[in-house]
Structure 1
Amino acid sequence: MAKVAEVIPQGVQYEFIAEDLSNKSHLLLKYNPVHKMIPVLLHNGKSICESLVIIEYIDETWKGAPILPKDPYERAKARFWAKFMDDKCLLPLCNSYWTQGEEQEKAKEEASEVLKILDSELKDKKFFGGDTIGLADIAANFIGHWFSITQEVIGVEVLTKEKYPKLCEWIDEFVNCNIIMENLHPKDELVASFQARLQAATAPK
């Protein structure tokens, strides 16, 4: 949910509802009957689903703090990298920690390739969109916050400053930005959740 909460413009009143995906609520099933997953944004009684779709809806509805650039080419680039984060990065990065054996080694190789691409794309930029946080940066939230915490819990290093210096600089800039910091999921809760998942995965069967 942080990916959505962190882009609600200041001054816009909203209610945050946490969802237990092991016991999905009637509201979630009602407002996202197709995927039955979070996040879901309810606005004026209508539901908008899927993170990137929600972010673009927010950008088009509240004009105070633009998320996507005005230039059509730059907007297309932002959409490309946001989709790259979701389609190409998420699965191999997760599998590089939560799998074992050959499957894990293959995932690490795939994760290394996508991280190299991201590190190269940043070049001398502060954020993926330039000097300010944009769509691609928000889409990469799981790398900047969730993934870094997972590394600590599991003790397997995939993303390091030695291998990916620009990407690690981006992480520092992103998570220490005030508006992002205020809306990130608390680290202690994520650590507890990941530790419980790790214990369940390694418990004798």
Structure 2
Amino acid sequence: MENKDTKVLSFWVSPFGLRVEWALKLKGVEYEYIEEDVFNKSNLLLQMNQVHKKVPVLIHHNKPICESFVIMEYIDETWTQYPLMPQEPHQRAVTRFWASFAEEKVLQAAGKAMMFSGDEKKNNAENAKEAMEKIEELIKGKKFFGGENIGYLDLALGWISYFLPVMEEAGNFHIMDPLEFPAISSWKKNFLDHPIIKDTPPPREKTLCHLQSRIIAFASRSGD
């Protein structure tokens, strides 16, 4: 059943939108999903996110909230069942730090490694791998980053479990070796086996085709 007071504007392959949906699902919040064509943006999206004009957008009681990390904190504060963030202020700050770290040091570098070639591909893949080594230490000895239950940081880093392997295949680079990252590999399995998570990632082949098309488009624009 959809909740017309809560809507999510997203794009089927967006890892940022998916983390918002995961947060709502973990909380048991019903919502209406509205698929956006990010290459032909709707008037609704342009109206609801006038600054960045990007997905995801959460619309709650006709008020928009933008940026996935901000949205997840809003969800956590609005629906208090199943807390996502730690309650202790220092732990909350640490959680925000690692979410930003993974976004800036792993996702952005992996994205560049996927798109670029030559030394730029190699250097960005190495930078992403070095950052992953720090995340490996963070998750050692834990089932989830949130402890025994999925929390905010698990959702923030959830793209690593299903999206990063497809990025690696599409861009012909390699970061995640299970032998080098056993703790992350164990976390990936735990995360993807969770009943809320397991059926939600987009189809792998469809995702791969999408990423390959983006690489081709990027290369044509950059003259590679």
The counterpart of 2:61, out of the listed 30, 44, 59, is 44
1:104 aligns with 2:125: no
Find the aligned partners of 1:162 and 1:105 in 2 and give their Cα distance. Answer: 20
1:1-12 equivalence runs, <5 A:
1-9=17-25, 10-12=27-29
Q: 1:7 Cα deviation (Å)?
A: 1.0
Q: Which runs of 5+ in 2 are unaligned?
A: 1-16
Corresponding residue number in structure 2 for 1:186: 203
Identity percentage of aligned residues: 37
The counterpart of 1:24, out of the listed 34, 37, 41, is 41
CA contact (8 A) 1:6 1:184 kept: no
Q: 1:94 Cα deviation (Å)?
A: 1.2
Find the aligned partners of 2:19 and 2:127 in 1 and give their Cα distance. Answer: 24
1:31-70 equivalence runs, <5 A:
31-70=48-87
Residue identity opposite 1:162 in structure 2: L
1:1-205 equivalence runs, <5 A:
1-9=17-25, 10-200=27-217
Residue identity opposite 1:8 in structure 2: L
Q: 1:49 Cα deviation (Å)?
A: 0.3
Q: Which secondary structure does the structure 2 equivalent of 1:80 belong to?
A: helix
Find the aligned partners of 1:198 and 1:162 in 2 and give their Cα distance. Answer: 29
Find the aligned partners of 1:21 and 1:158 in 2 and give their Cα distance. Answer: 28
Find the aligned partners of 2:172 and 2:104 in 1 and give their Cα distance. Answer: 25
Q: 1:33 Cα deviation (Å)?
A: 0.5
Residue identity opposite 1:40 in structure 2: V
Corresponding residue number in structure 1 for 2:10: none
Of residues 89-98 and 109-118 in structure 1, the stretch that sits farther from structure 2 once superposed is 89-98
Q: 1:11 Cα deviation (Å)?
A: 4.0
Question: Deviation per CA, 1:104-161, whole angstroms, max 9, x where unpaired?
Answer: 1210121111011111111111111221111111111221121112223444322111
CA contact (8 A) 1:78 1:134 kept: no
Change (3 A) 1:11 1:159: closer
Q: 1:86 Cα deviation (Å)?
A: 2.0
Residue identity opposite 2:83 in structure 1: P
Residue identity opposite 1:129 in structure 2: G
TM-score (norm 2): 0.84
